[in-house]
Structures are given as C-alpha cells and as structure tokens.
Amino acid sequence: MNSQTNPVSTLVWTFGLMSLFAVGGANSAIPEMHRVAVDVHHWMDDKQFADIFAISQLSPGPNVLIVTLIGYAVGGVVGALAATLAMCGPTAVLAYYVSRLLQRSSHSPWPAIIQAALVPLSIGLMGASGLILALTSDRNWVAAMITVAAAVLAFATRLNPVWMLLAGGALGFAGIIG
C-alpha cells in the first residue's frame, strides 16, 4: 500500500478487491473509491473527485466507468484500461460460475435469502455515496438546493435525468454556484 510501488498495479489490486466487495454495484462503492483515491493515495482532491463523478454521469454506459476516469487520472490510458478490467473482471468470473451453479439447483431458497439480506446493505452504501458526494459537491446553499431539486424531480417525475444534469451544468456555467 505504499506509494513507491507502480501506481497501475496499485489500481489493479485496489479495484480488483473492491469489485468483490461492491455489493449493489458501482454506486455503492463510491465512498470506498473516494476514501482510496482522495484520503489514502492522494491521487486527487475532493473537487477533482466530484468532477470525475459528474463526468461519469454525463457519459453513456454503466456507472462503473467512474473507475475508468480514476484510472486515467492515475496512469493515463493504461491506468484507465487496467482499473476498468480490474473492477469488472473478478466479479464477472464469479457471476459466470454462480449462474451456472444456480441453473442446476434453481429451487434453493438461498438466492432469495441472500438478496433480501444484501439489498438493505447496498441501499445503505448508496446512501453513504450520496452523502459523501453531497459534501464534496455542495459547497453552498445554492448548490445544495440544486441537489435537492434534482432529487425531488427524479423521485417524483419520469423526466429523463439527462435534462437535470444539463440544467445543473447550465446553472453552474451561469456562475450561480460560485
């Protein structure tokens, strides 16, 4: 874990391990990514982390691509590729074998029990992601209001989320957030 080692191998090790603990997907792992990238390895500061989250939400594809952006910041194109494969690979192999296993014994009660037990944990993790990102993004009350407005709109309406992201960008460009 020391910073003397090759940063790309640190990326592979970090995200490969994280992949197996990311219950509920990439958005649940954001607090851990923030802890590793900002607090432990000092790859970036809070502001850059918030920017990277914004870019990952603006770009198409699965949410997991936030690790591509972190990887690029650490080790360029090689870092981006290494981080992405490390985050996706171990769990993909696991998924492959578990799905084959379950095809043979589809009447086991365990899938339902495991799911019922893990879903609350993944929601808690995502809530923590929301909190940590809000603390890094919302520097003043205007910014916090934008977050609250987007949350309420996304919760209560079926509006395409892209419009809220663009509206946030426009408000930011107008200099309201400061």
Partner 1 sequence: MASESPPAAAPAPDISPATPPIQPGLFELFVAFAKMSLAGFGGVLVWARRGIVDQHRWMTAEEFNETFALCHFLPGPNIVNLSVVFGSRFRGIAGGIAAFAGLVGPPMVIATILAALYARYGEIDALRRILAGVSCAAVGLLIAVVFKMMMPLIKKRDVVGLVMLVAVFIAIGLARLPLQAVLLVAIPVSLGITYIMRRRVKA
Query: Where in 90-109 is the site for partner 1 (CB under 8 A)?
Result: 90-92, 94-96, 98-100, 102-103, 109
Site string for partner 1, 44-83 (x = CB under 8 A): ----x-xxxxxxxxxxxxxxxx--xx--xx---x--xx--
Q: Is the dihedral of CA 170, 129, 38, 92 positive or negative?
A: negative
Half-sphere exposure of 87 (CA within 13 A, CB side): 28
Please give the Cα distance from 107 to 4 (Å, whole number). 50
Cβ atoms of residues 30 and 138 within 8 Å: no
Instruction: Pick from 1, 2, 141, 173 the residue near partner 1 by CB under 8 A.
Output: 173
Smallest gap from residue 64 Cβ to partner 1 (A) = 4
Which residue, 4 or 104, is less far from partner 1 as judged by CB? 104
The single residue among 8, 12, 22, 82 that binds partner 1, judged by CB under 8 A, is 22
Q: Are 108 and 102 in contact (CB under 8 A)?
A: yes
First to last CA, the chain: 37
* Candidate residues 5, 13, 45, 121; the one interacting with partner 1 per rule CB under 8 A: 121
Enumerate residues 141-170 that contact partner 1 by CB under 8 A.
143-144, 146-155, 160-162, 164-170
Q: How far is the CB of 162 from partner 1 (least distance, A)?
A: 5
Residue 36 sits at the vertex; the CA angle it makes with 43 and 51, to the nearest 5 degrees, is: 55
- With CB under 8 A as the rule, give the number of residues binding partner 1: 109
